[in-house]
Structure 1
Amino acid sequence: MPPASPPPTSAFSSDGTQGDSANLQKLIDVKGEPIALTGLGNVLLSDADTQIVGKLGIVSQQNQSQLTTATTIRSQSEDDWKSTSAVNTDEEAINLMEFQNMYQANMKVIAVANTLFESTLQMFN
């Protein structure tokens, strides 16, 4: 008969004896130990993932808000630029017609003044 193999040992045992769960207890205790995380400070290992996900959610929401604000500001700036640099052809056509009418009216005033001046000169001759 072959020699009896030793009974399997559990990884949870610290010294290999059956029923010993010292390593398991150490693993359980680790989750209650505080760890230092950048931006969060000292947190329990069991709470670290929840706090990291929460912090990422907050930062993501802030970034989305800042992107919306930046997009709005850019859009307003582009609209302001377009309103000051764009040429409205309809408005320019109306202005051109008004200037033409003013020119014609001034020409009539000059023609009347010229006629009056000539009439005045003829009276003295």
Structure 2
Amino acid sequence: MQVTTSGGTSTIKAHGLIFTAAAGAPTESAFVYPTRYTAGAIEVAIRDPRAVAAAAPVLASLATGEGSSLQVRQSGLADRGSAASGTELGLPALRYTYDAADKRFELDTTAPGVAGWPASLDYDPATSAAGKSFTLEGPGGLQVELKLSGTPAANDVITLADNKGGVADNRNAALLGALQTDKLMFGSGGQATATLNNAYAQLVAKVGSKTREVQAGERTQTSLLQQAKASRDAVSGVNLDEEAANLVRFQQSYQAAAKVMGVAQRLFDEMLAIAR
């Protein structure tokens, strides 16, 4: 919460809300509940299932020859670059043909719109058959991810294109569903160690444990406070019964002292009378 005063006007900023009071205005108080109705306001933003982006934005296809075991393990979009969200990527058809002698995929540079994209992708089956990832960056900062595995044959072709129709493609939806089991939280040494469910369970356990700890501490401090009050009252507190008994005792002592003084006065008078 931030409080500022300028020209006799006070401004309070709390949780994105602003309260302003002029000088001399009646004193008022306000309670801010930033998340009180959050759960009740949750609703589905998209009601038409056709509007769900279930398909991946990039489509990779293979044309392989005899004896080839080449596979596309993964393809997708790494960065839209300057392409605005909700618009087409403008990805041209990138056609890479495998050159077995040079052990690399060569880009078909005669295709339209491919200028600025990597001209070749080095791929040696002896070291990359288990899987090799590529990040292809083109004009405007557009980046495409590609992961290959297996042993390609000569003239195998990989084609990357904009997946405009997205027909019979649920890769994006599958990746979304896999979030519940993917390790995304609590990085250790640059590696995530827990799923979202694990992180939520740990958070609930931590809050419960801390709440229990605070409750036990509150009971302990309450007991110590009561003991301190008892010790203080034992030293400086007033016991009404004891004070009443003391008043009676002091009253009787005063009365006894008064009688002694009375007797002494009478003896003194008698002595003066005898002397006369």
- Give TM-score scaled by structure 2 length: 0.29
Task: Assess, with a 3 A threshold, how the Cα gap between structure 1 residues 113 and 86 changes in structure 2: closer, same or farther.
Answer: closer
Query: What is the aligned partner in structure 2 of residue 112 from structure 1?
Result: 263
Q: How big is the shift at 1:87?
A: 5.8
Task: From the two aligned structures, give the one with the greater helix fraction.
Answer: 1
Query: What is the aligned partner in structure 1 of residue 10 from structure 2?
Result: none
Q: How far apart, in 1, do the equivalents of 2:175 and 2:244 lie?
A: 89
Q: How far apart, in 1, do the equivalents of 2:185 and 2:274 lie?
A: 113
2:194 matches 1:44: yes
2:183 matches 1:33: yes
Q: How far apart, in 2, do the equivalents of 1:30 and 1:108 lie?
A: 97
RMSD: 4.3
Q: How big is the shift at 1:58?
A: 1.2
Structure exhibiting the larger radius of gyration computed from Cα positions: 1
- Give TM-score scaled by structure 1 length: 0.53
Q: How far apart, in 1, do the equivalents of 2:270 and 2:248 lie?
A: 33
2:237 matches 1:68: no
Task: Give unpaired runs (5+ residues) of structure 1.
Answer: 1-10, 16-20
Q: How far apart, in 2, do the equivalents of 1:29 and 1:77 lie?
A: 55
Task: From the two aligned structures, give the one with the greater strand fraction.
Answer: 2
Query: What is the aligned partner in structure 2 of residue 94 from structure 1?
Result: 245
2:237 matches 1:57: no
Q: How far apart, in 2, do the equivalents of 1:94 and 1:29 lie?
A: 79
Task: Assess, with a 3 A threshold, how the Cα gap between structure 1 residues 61 and 122 changes in structure 2: closer, same or farther.
Answer: same
Task: Give unpaired runs (5+ residues) of structure 2.
Answer: 1-53, 60-72, 75-170
Residues 20-57 of structure 1 deviation map (CA, whole Å, 9 limit, x = unaligned): x97558965873434249xxxx6411531331122112
SS in 2 for 1:35: coil
Task: Assess, with a 3 A threshold, how the Cα gap between structure 1 residues 93 and 86 changes in structure 2: closer, same or farther.
Answer: closer
Task: Assess, with a 3 A threshold, how the Cα gap between structure 1 residues 59 and 43 changes in structure 2: closer, same or farther.
Answer: farther
Which structure has more relative contact order (CA 8 Å, sep 6+)? It is: 2
Task: Assess, with a 3 A threshold, how the Cα gap between structure 1 residues 59 and 26 changes in structure 2: closer, same or farther.
Answer: same
Q: How far apart, in 2, do the equivalents of 1:43 and 1:58 lie?
A: 22
Q: How big is the shift at 1:105?
A: 1.0
